[in-house]
Structure 1
Amino acid sequence: MAGPRDTARPQTDTIDGAEVTNPYWQDTTLIRPVDAEPSAIELLSEETCWALTEACDIGRIAVVNDDGSPEVLPVNFLVHDRHIYIRSAPGSKLMNITSRPLVTFEVDGHDDENWWSVILHGGARRLAIDAEIDESGVLGLDSWNPTEKSNFVRVTPSRLSGRRFPKRSPRPQDEPPALEPNSAAPAQIVRGATDRFRTTIAWGLVVVTVFNVLSAVVGGVAMLLTNGLGMPTSFLAGGPFTGFLVPALILVLVVGGTQTAAAVLLLARREAALVWTAVAGFGLVIWIVVETAMIRGFSWLQLVYFTTGVLQVILVVALLGAVAWLPRRPLSDAFRPNDPRLGASTVRMTS
């Protein structure tokens, strides 16, 4: 057993009678053991591996170059029918996959309590049949890199494994040093402000959507129970409805249903939430316009709901990166701003 210094790697060596520093010497007293016990590492089931992978949109693919050296590339991806689909521009990555199709794909992440990673080994193939491309949904895959990507690759897994282990509590020496106010670099301060603004938009969208859910469902049910909330049926004269039953059902099931779906997806932080919320916002605006035409009048409540519908659409457009200074980020990141003093928590890019 080595003592406080690794005797297998002495600090100095004697060469040709001269004492020289050993470049491989290491002071083992500076190395502390890992706190996590091996038993704390959880081997993930196949179902869990796929569930975690499907929830992500950035992964890394390892390919083999012409000279036999490995290369790891970050890529946007999607999962369909337990296959990995990526888009690729013409170049070395596509040529390497075509000539040496065996690849490794990795994705990782964390939650409040655990870190996890999933590794997939399999074969990659460039898709050339329109039906396969359309069915996979890869045409709708967004890429963080603006380069045009007209080639589509499918990775068919032959082996899948995953691990999850708890986060250890940081020791005092692990914690980053406290920074004085305004000590962050200007670029970090700007990025931090942008992240906080994006987070405000995301949570504002949640609040507006939940408000619309409650308004549509409660208003529709009240209209059913009171037969029009006290409004005379003469308000519907000349319209397609003779009573308030159908309008109430539309309000509850169509308007309230889409708003509820949007709210659930937003709270689950799924990327599909933005599409659903935009649809729900448009639906609410259309409903207010139709309702106004039917009753041939306009109240302040209708103005409020029209405004919330428009606001939903505007907030979705902002989160989709329509504004140059507010680039798009995964929805899960939008709810979790980074500390501007420490830099971004993750690097988002694609090859």
Structure 2
Amino acid sequence: MSENLNDPVEELTPETCWELLRTATLGRIAVSFQGEPEITPVNFIAVKNRLLLRTAQGTKLLKLTINDRVAFETDYVGPHSAWSVVAKGTARIIESQDEIYEADQLPLTPLIPTLKYVWVEIKPTEVTGRRFTLGPEPERY
């Protein structure tokens, strides 16, 4: 929590970050590929201090197999407050049939009706977040 009560920015504990991650369904995954950073929106679910997402065969999956070090971010903006959570860690394709079966039971559905058969797990090594208190909207001229 912010030491200054008038400070509109609050640093969040890892526990609070995980609570917020469990309320979100859309985030962005960042990976470096051929020396260039790339960010892709994904829908996800937070379970047991890990993040799971589904994807199809393609460039996103290829990039994750070449470089498993990722960053992930999700956020929320409401009328009076906003927050952002960033997780850094490693990603892996789930290949064990038992793990795939377990993941298939989770309530994660694609935002768009495309076939996504590949599960990816992100195991964060670091989770940080901030909450922002929003003031009144400035007058527009």
Structure with bigger RCO (C-alpha 8 Å, 6+ apart): 2
Please name the residue that 1:74 is paired with: 41
Q: Is the 8 A contact 1:80 1:136 kept in 2?
A: no
Shift of 1:146: 2.1
Shift of 1:123: 0.1
Shift of 1:137: 4.6
Please name the residue that 1:20 is paired with: none
Q: Which runs of 5+ in 1 are unaligned?
A: 1-36, 175-351
Shift of 1:39: 2.7
Q: 1:43 to 1:92 in 2, by over 3 A?
A: same
Shift of 1:47: 1.2
Please name the residue that 2:15 is paired with: 47
- Pick the structure with more strand per residue: 2
SS in 1 for 2:38: strand
- 2:76 matches 1:102: no
TM-score scaled by structure 2? Answer: 0.89
Please name the residue that 1:57 is paired with: 25
Shift of 1:102: 0.3
Task: Report the Cα distance in structure 1 between the residues aligned to 2:122 and 2:56, rounded to whole angstroms.
Answer: 16
Query: Structure 1 vs Structure 2: percent identity of aligned residues?
Result: 36
Task: Report the Cα distance in structure 1 between the residues aligned to 2:118 and 2:73, rounded to whole angstroms.
Answer: 21
Please name the residue that 2:113 is paired with: 146
Q: Is the 8 A contact 1:62 1:72 kept in 2?
A: yes
Deviations 1:197-243 (A, max 9, x none): xxxxxxxxxxxxxxxxxxxxxxxxxxxxxxxxxxxxxxxxxxxxxxx
SS in 2 for 1:157: strand
Q: 1:137 to 1:81 in 2, by over 3 A?
A: farther
1:1-351 paired onto structure 2 within 5 Å: 39-65=7-33, 67-137=34-104, 140-173=107-140
Q: Number of matched residues?
A: 137
- Pick the structure with more helix per residue: 1
Deviations 1:67-126 (A, max 9, x none): 211111110101111100000110111011011000000000034421100000000000
Task: Name the larger-Rg structure.
Answer: 1
TM-score scaled by structure 1? Answer: 0.37
Task: Report the Cα distance in structure 2 between the residues aligned to 1:138 and 1:76, rounded to whole angstroms.
Answer: 16
Q: Is the 8 A contact 1:63 1:93 kept in 2?
A: no
Task: Report the Cα distance in structure 1 between the residues aligned to 2:10 and 2:116, rounded to whole angstroms.
Answer: 37
Q: Is the 8 A contact 1:85 1:138 kept in 2?
A: no
Q: Which runs of 5+ in 2 are unaligned?
A: none
